[in-house]
Structures are given as C-alpha cells and as structure tokens.
Structure 1
Amino acid sequence: MSKLLVIGGAGELGRSTVLAAAREWSGGREGLWATYHSTLPDEEPLNAAQWIQLDCSDHEAIRETILKINPNGVIYCAVPKHGGASGKGGDKVLSGIVDDVVAAAEASVILGARFIAISTDQVFDGKLSEGQCYKETDEISPTNPYASYKTVMEKRLLTLAGPIVICRTSLILTMHPMGKGIEFVVKCLRGEMGEIVLFTDELRNMTFSDDLGSGLVELAESTCEFRGVVHLVSDEITNRYELSKMLCKVLGIEMNFVKSGLSTESGMNRPANLSLDTTLIKSVLKRTKLRGVSERYG
C-alpha cells in the first residue's frame, strides 16, 4: 500500500492537502497519515487520515515518526508563526522554516520517499517590469526575514540527494473555512479596519488551497519523476484590490470601505511584481488544474 504523510495537516494548507489526499492519493485513506502540533483539526479532515501529534522542533521525533510510518511521500506543510513580509524573523522562526524542514527531508531521503516542501514567491524582490514573470531559474533576492529563511531552506534541501520538490506558492486563498488571505480582505470590506487602501500594483499568482493540496498530492506520488524547484501557482496574476471586488460579488458585500492605491506610493518597502511563470508546473502536473480567482468566481 502506498503511504503519504502530511506534516502540519491541521493548518490552512495542510488541512486542504489532507482532504485532497483523501480523495486522490493512490493509497487511499488507509495509506494517509497527518500530524498536528497541539490542536486536532475539525471533523472533516480528522476523519480523513490517521493523526499523530508532532512537535516539529523535536528533530528526533520527526525522524522516528517518518521512519515508523515508512511513507512513499512526505508533504511538509507545517510553518511557524512568522508575520509574513512584515515579520521581524528571529532564531525560532529561522529554525522552524529551515532546520525542521531539513530534518524531515533527511529522514525522507533515507527511505527514498518523495519529499515536498513549501517555499514562497517572496524569494524574489518584486522589481520586475510590468508584463514580466519570474522563472524558477531566475536569481532570488529576498527582501524580508521570512523570505530570506525560505531561500536558506531551498538551498539546503537542494544539497540533499533525493526526490525532493520545492514548491513556491503565492497568496493562498481558502473560502471554507475562511483562511488568512480571504479573511483579511473580508474584514476590510466590512469596515472592521476602517477605511483602507488595497494595492493594485502588488501582483501575485493567488491560488486556492484545495487546488494547491491536489497539486502537492500529485507531486508526492511515486509516478511523478520531477525533482527541484517549481512554481505551484495559478497562471492568473492579480492583486488584493481586484480580489476585494470579486469577493464583494461572491459574498454580497458593498464596496464602501476599500479604496485602490499603489504600494510604490505608500512609503512601504514591499515587493511589488511577484508574478511567477507557470510553464514548468503545467508540464509537470497531469491531473491537477490550479485555478485563479476569475476562473473560480468570475
């Protein structure tokens, strides 16, 4: 029986990955394991897998868990609280993003299991001209601690000799239950943040977590031969202001509190154009379609 282990299965992306695996993994639900740090997930993912409590900072526990299950694939979705582009980082965040992931990858490599890690579009500086997209082979230049730690993670994983895939994602969207990216915009629309400006020049390949979960599961299958870095995102490039307009239509909310603006005029030092090229991922994935906002709700 083919076995899959999802590390960090109770978080936003992990939950969607567990549910995708329950539907699509070649080993079925009987071959599906997932870990949680402190709180078990809600009933739907809880019933979809066999759950194990795991503190990812305990590297011996990581190794023991992986070696005991002996999976064919490992998807690492766990992530420490980091604050994203505005986070200040620190040793705990660095260890959670780099050391914990590498420990799991090393144990997976011993078994010959496929190991799937999550990175970010923020490894780039966002200084592209309009209409351009970053390819996987383009030089990385992070502008914040979170992204810097992800670049270290990528480099260390790529030194390991094994079937490792590093998936760079963008802004992750989840409608039910509402994830961080959607929740922030909805709060803005409802006036919970007062009047607020959402930028039109911060370009991202926003992707829904259920599609990402399906893509991660497909990449973890032993039938997938791809190794290396890939941009696991939809091909639609958009911004949070356009997302807010779409959510107004979907949720029936009036656009009374949100205005459009430019990040470059805000005084904030944030990456602007983080558009990612999707040519490679389209050639790798055979069954999964990564849909953008317009295709999903247009």
Structure 2
Amino acid sequence: MNIVITGAGGQLGQDCLNILGIVHRVQGYTSRQLDITNTQQVLKEISRVQPDTLINCAAYTAVDNCEKDQERCRAVNELGAANLAAASAAIGCRLIHVSTDYVFDGNKPVPEPYTEQDPVSPLSAYGRTKLAGEQAVARHLDKYLILRTAWLYGIGGNNFLKTMLRLATSDPKRTIRVVDDQHGSLTWSMTLARQIERLLSSDLSGVVHATAENSSTWFGGAQYFLETMGVDFSLEPCTTADYPTPAHRPTNSILENSRLKKHGLHVMQDWQQDIHDFVDRYREDLLEEASA
C-alpha cells in the first residue's frame, strides 16, 4: 500500500512511519516539507504521490497557545484538515484523520466514558477547531476515518510524561503539583500506530475512538510513570482551580473504543501496560533526554 503521513515530525507521525514502513511504502511530510494550510501545495503534492491512504497526524496541539493564536490554530486544525480531505477526494484515496477527546465538554460523570455516538461540545479553541476539522473531512469524503485519541505521549517530541521526568530528575526534593481532577487515558503513540496499522486492512469508516484502556488522572498517570521509571520524586495532587490555564479542559476525557471492539479491530492496551512497555523500551533514552 502507498501511504502518505502528514505531521511526520510529531510523536505519532514518527511511530506511524516506523510501524507502517515495515510493510508499506510510506512517504512522510513534516510541517516544513508540506504546509497543509496551503491549499494548492497540498493538492499538487497529494496528486503527484497518489497515495492509497493519507494519514493526517498534523495538528496544532498546544492547547493553551491555541487560545492566544486562534487564527493559526484554525488554519492548521480546520483548514489543513479540509485541504487534505479535498485532495483525498480529488484522487480517490482514503483519509485517516487523527482527532481528540477535547471535542467533548467532560460533563459526563466519571468514570462514564464517551462513545462515538455522544454529542460533542468542545470547551476550548483547540477542541472547536479540531471538531471543525472533523466536520470538514466528513463534508468532503465518503472514504474517511476520524480517529479520536487522548493524552498522547511517545519518544518523539515533548509531552506530559517527559515534562514530569525532567522536573523530577532535575530536583528530586522538589514537590511537583499535578492536577488530580481531570480524568482520561494516557495513550502511547506506538500502540496507536499499531492500531492504525490494523485499520489499514479494514473498510471501517466514520468516527472511531482509540485510546488506551481504563483511565487515571494526570496525577495518577505521573505517579505510575515515575514509579515505573524508578526515579526519586515528590508529587502533590492539586485541582484544576489551583492550576488555572488559558484553555478550559474537560473534567472527563475518558473515551470508550466501542466501534473498534464491535468490529473486532481493537488492539489498544491498558494505560498502565502502555507505560510499562514505553519505559521498558526507552528508559535510558528518556533519562538521557531529561538530563540534557
């Protein structure tokens, strides 16, 4: 299969390149190599390469910065998605578009998860533009898969777990305050890449949830990760109100992978197993990066 990956410089894009490249012919584009906000450039390049499947991992994911730079946020998350969908429609290829848990308002009682059938109601500019991107994809295409994931981390790029490790190792006596009233599923980008690989051989379409199984809070996730890393640390739980941010975040970000399970396509792991495997594979690399 001939595959194009946009956002190939990010943590999911890198893992998709590595996983899918074993079997398939894969062309990856970073944001510098392909500006997805440029309508003509996208159409020209996708028409030239003629992929069977286009996987869009590109997004403006700095949730708080999205509040300050809503024009850029909209350009990447909405217009970029629309451009890729239009180009996919023009050549007849399938589009797998990665989206987010932040399309929900989080008002469901914890631990009740959100399914693909639940109504959306984003709280932030990031969530609103990602939802608009989903809607643009659905308008342009019949052959599409919108893959909502959450709380993503991996070896490439910056993420929550790397930040926790850097803070803990830079000063083990320092007490790190971590939000303990937002609930979701920390999801390893490598596992998500394997899930995408599984979906390539299916004809499933529409909206699909794909996060790690079960849930924690940011505090619980940080604690389990640092314990698994075997480093000294001091954490203290705090509330969202104690740690105000420009963007409002949902209290409940737990997603249920209903459709993957229904169609026998589910390969996502428990969030703790994901972290265990991540640390087992990258522990020394993570420690080296944290101390740099």
Per the shorter chain, which TM-score range? 0.7 to 0.9
TM-score relative to the length of structure 1 = 0.83
Aligned mates of 2:38, 2:269 — CA distance in 1: 36
Other-structure match for 1:295: 273
Does the Cα contact within 8 Å between 1:85 and 1:270 map onto a contact in 2?
no
Deviation of 1:239 (Å): 1.7
Cα–Cα, structure 1 residues 195 and 249, in superposed 2: closer, same or farther, change >3 Å?
A: closer
Contact 1:218–1:285 under 8 Å retained in 2: no
Residue 60 (structure 1) shift? 1.0
Aligned to 1:41: none
State the alpha-carbon separation in 2 of the partners of residues 285 and 20 from structure 1.
20
Identify the match of residue 164 of structure 1 among 118, 127, 144: 144
Query: How far did residue 120 of structure 1 move?
Result: 0.7
3-state SS of paired residue (1:263) = coil
Aligned partners of 1:284, 1:63: CA distance in 2, in Å?
Answer: 33
Q: Gaps (5+ residues) in structure 2?
A: 278-292
- 1:102–1:94 CA distance, 2 compared to 1 (3 A): same
Identical pairs, percent:
19
Q: 1:21 to 1:253 in 2, by over 3 A?
A: same
Q: CA shift at 1:87, angstroms?
A: 3.4
- Letter of the aligned partner of 1:295 in structure 2? Q
- 2:7 and 2:244 mapped to 1: Cα distance? 36
Q: Deviations over 1:9-58 (max 9, x none)?
A: 111111011111113x4xx3xx21111233xxxxxxxxxxxxxx222222
Unaligned runs of 5+ in 1: 39-52
Is the 2:6–2:31 Cα contact (8 Å) retained in structure 1?
Answer: no
- 1:239 is matched with 217
Cα root mean square deviation, aligned? 2.2
Aligned to 1:18: 17
The count of aligned residue pairs is 272
Cα shift readout 1:94-120 (whole Å, capped 9, x = no counterpart): 011111111111111222211011111
Which residue of 71, 83, 106 maps to 1:91? Answer: 71
Residues 66 and 73 of structure 2 are in contact (CA less than 8 Å); yes or no, is this contact kept in structure 1? no
**In structure 1, how many angstroms separate the alpha carbons of the residues matched to 2:15 and 2:183?**
24
**Counterpart in 2 of 1:48?**
none
Amino acid at match of 2:135: K
2:3 — aligned with what?
A: 4
Q: 3-state SS of the aligned residue for 2:216?
A: coil
The whole-number CA distance in structure 2 between the counterparts of 1:218 and 1:73 is 13
- Asked if 1:135 corresponds to 2:134, the answer is no
Q: Normalising to structure 2: TM-score of the pair?
A: 0.85
**Alpha-carbon contact 1:247-1:253 (below 8 Å) kept:** no
The answer as to whether partners of 1:67 and 1:111 remain within 8 angstroms in 2 is yes
1:126-158 Cα deviation digits (max 9, x unpaired)? 111122111111111111100011111112211
Secondary structure of the structure 2 residue equivalent to 1:68: helix
Specify the SS of the correspondent of 1:159.
helix
Partners of 2:215 and 2:271 within 8 A in 1: no
Structure 2 Cα separation of the partners of residues 161 and 71 of structure 1: 15
The yes-or-no answer on 1:37 pairing with 2:31 is yes
Per the alignment, in what secondary structure is the counterpart of residue 146 of structure 2? strand
For 1:290, the aligned partner's letter is M
Structure 1 residues 178 and 115: alpha-carbon distance in aligned structure 2, compared to 1, 3 A threshold: closer
Instruction: Answer yes or no: is the 8 Å Cα contact 2:192–2:268 preserved in 1.
Output: yes
CA spacing shift, 1:86–1:139, aligned 2, 3 Å: farther
Q: Secondary structure at the match of 1:87?
A: helix
Aligned with 2:184: secondary structure? coil
* Partner Cα distance (1:116, 1:71) in 2: 12
Are 2:174 and 1:202 aligned? no
Report the AA paired with residue 169 of structure 2.
R
- Structural mapping, 1:43-122, within 5 Å: 53-80=33-60, 82-85=61-64, 87-88=66-67, 89-122=69-102
- The letter of the residue matching 1:34 is G
CA contact (8 A) 1:188 1:196 kept: yes
